[in-house]
């Protein structure tokens, strides 16, 4: 059983995390992720990572945070709401995943985590720690689930009773704290995410074949044409995809984010089909330079736009 001192430390950190704008904060013991390691090895062996070759690298660091941060004792996990107040106006235009509407989350989440780490050092003395948010080989969803912030849903996302449109971040450090307990999975018999995926990427509960996912095709697969076999299956998603989250009952009443840096430009939300088709380098830089969309690059985004705006009679490669 944790001593009151450890419990008090944890409570102080959680209170500051909420003050900084995080939705939730939890702690887990920095240890080897045995179950997740076995799952990842099989997932990779089955080729479900497609061309995301980075997923097969740094397996030791990916499954043991003590290698990333020597002497680590704790993984502090946080959630940051990114659900926008407003979404794209037009319904027949190329769609952008909500996580990419505003300022790049790597910057926003890590800025807050650095402030939290500075606060911890001011409170508890010298701490060896590093901050992460989708920027290193860290199994973020696994750590958030271990910290009791939610559970891994059938769409493989972290789901909470408040919704799932959350960014995840971590501080891995050598400060010992009181550890939180995981919570039980609450998806029950719901299969909405599985049956709603137009590319059948969710092959079974909790197992997503990344090489079939619309987000994979529109973000990770670069400098090549998109497969003809997936024509007319993207439901206009040109950067990422929110389908498996949009249909999740836990998101039906999720409250929108209050983080100003995640607010999208009205101009982007109001773009019609013609403006998307005529997107050039100047507009791309002006509209998306601060967002995660830069990861795809202009040429790949234009490829995606052509692909999702295809009519049944069109030859995709004709104008490519």
201 with 164, same domain: the answer is: no
36 with 112, same domain: the answer is: yes
20-40 as b/e: b if 16+ CB within 10 A: bbbbbbbbbebeebeebbeeb
CA 196 – CA 191 distance, rounded (Å): 8
Quick one: the chain helix, strand, coil %, rounded to 5? 40, 15, 45
CA 97 – CA 189 distance, rounded (Å): 27
107 with 49, same domain: the answer is: yes
Hey, which residues does 27 pair with through a beta bridge? 76
CA 89 – CA 86 distance, rounded (Å): 8
17 with 150, same domain: the answer is: yes
Task: Just list the catalytic residues.
Answer: 134
Three-state DSSP state, 33: coil
| Alpha helical stretches, state H, the chain | 4-19, 34-45, 59-63, 65-68, 105-124, 140-146, 192-196, 214-215, 243-246, 266-269, 273-277, 281-288, 298-308
Count up the domains in the chain and report the number.
Answer: 2
151 with 224, same domain: the answer is: no
The whole-number pLDDT of residue 319 equals 46
163 with 64, same domain: the answer is: yes
The whole-number pLDDT of residue 1 equals 47
**pTM, two decimal places:** 0.94
CA 202 – CA 262 distance, rounded (Å): 28
17 with 59, same domain: the answer is: yes
Contact yes or no for 320/225 (Cβ under 8 A): yes
Last residue of a domain, one of 173, 208, 223: 173
Q: Is residue 178 part of a domain?
A: no
Question: 67 lies in which domain range?
Answer: 4-85+102-173
Contact yes or no for 55/156 (Cβ under 8 A): no
For residue 16, the Cα-to-chain-centroid distance in whole angstroms is 23
What tokens were used for 166? Answer: 């959350």
The whole-number pLDDT of residue 2 equals 47
pLDDT tens-place values along the chain, 320 residues long: 445 599 999 999 999 999 999 999 999 999 999 999 999 999 999 999 999 999 999 999 999 999 999 999 999 999 999 999 999 999 899 999 999 999 999 999 999 999 999 999 999 999 999 999 998 999 999 999 999 999 999 999 999 999 999 999 999 999 999 999 999 999 999 999 999 999 999 999 999 999 999 999 999 999 899 999 999 999 999 999 999 999 999 999 999 999 999 999 999 999 999 999 999 999 999 999 999 999 999 999 999 999 999 876 555 444 44
**DSSP state string for 44-113:** HHTTTTTT-GGGGS-HHHHH-HHHHSTT--EEEEEEEE---SS--S-SSS-EE-GGGSSS-HHHHHHHHH
What angle do the packed helices 105-124 and 4-19 form, to 10 degrees? 140
303 with 220, same domain: the answer is: yes
124 with 159, same domain: the answer is: yes
233 with 196, same domain: the answer is: yes
């Amino acid at each position: 059983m944790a001593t009151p001192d450890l419990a008090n430390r944890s409570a102080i950190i959680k209170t500051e995390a909420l003050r900084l704008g995080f939705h939730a904060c939890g702690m887990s013991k920095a240890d080897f992720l045995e179950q997740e390691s076995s799952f990842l090895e099989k997932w990779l062996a089955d080729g479900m990572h497609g061309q995301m070759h980075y997923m097969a690298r740094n397996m030791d660091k990916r499954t043991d945070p003590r290698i990333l941060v020597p002497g680590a004792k704790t993984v502090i996990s946080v959630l940051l709401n990114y659900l926008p107040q407003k979404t794209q106006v037009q319904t027949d235009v190329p769609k952008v995943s909500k996580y990419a509407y505003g300022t790049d989350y790597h910057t926003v989440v890590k800025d807050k985590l650095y402030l939290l780490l500075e606060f911890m050092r001011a409170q508890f003395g010298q701490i060896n720690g590093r901050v992460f948010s989708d920027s290193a080989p860290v199994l973020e969803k696994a750590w958030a689930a271990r910290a009791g912030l939610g559970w891994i849903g059938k769409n493989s996302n972290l789901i909470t009773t408040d919704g799932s449109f959350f960014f995840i971040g971590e501080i891995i450090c050598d400060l010992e704290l009181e550890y939180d307990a995981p919570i039980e999975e609450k998806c029950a018999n719901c299969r909405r995410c599985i049956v709603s995926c137009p590319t059948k990427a969710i092959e079974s509960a909790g197992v997503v074949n990344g090489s079939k996912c619309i987000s994979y095709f529109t973000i990770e697969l670069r400098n090549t044409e998109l497969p003809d076999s997936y024509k007319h299956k993207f439901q206009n998603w040109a950067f990422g995809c929110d389908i498996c989250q949009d249909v999740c009952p836990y998101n039906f009443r999720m409250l929108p984010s209050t983080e100003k840096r995640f607010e999208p430009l009205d101009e982007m939300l109001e773009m019609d089909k013609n403006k998307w088709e005529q997107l050039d380098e100047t507009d791309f830089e002006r509209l998306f330079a601060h967002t995660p969309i830069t990861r795809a690059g202009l040429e790949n985004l234009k490829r995606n736009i052509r692909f999702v705006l295809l009519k049944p009679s069109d030859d995709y490669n004709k104008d490519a």
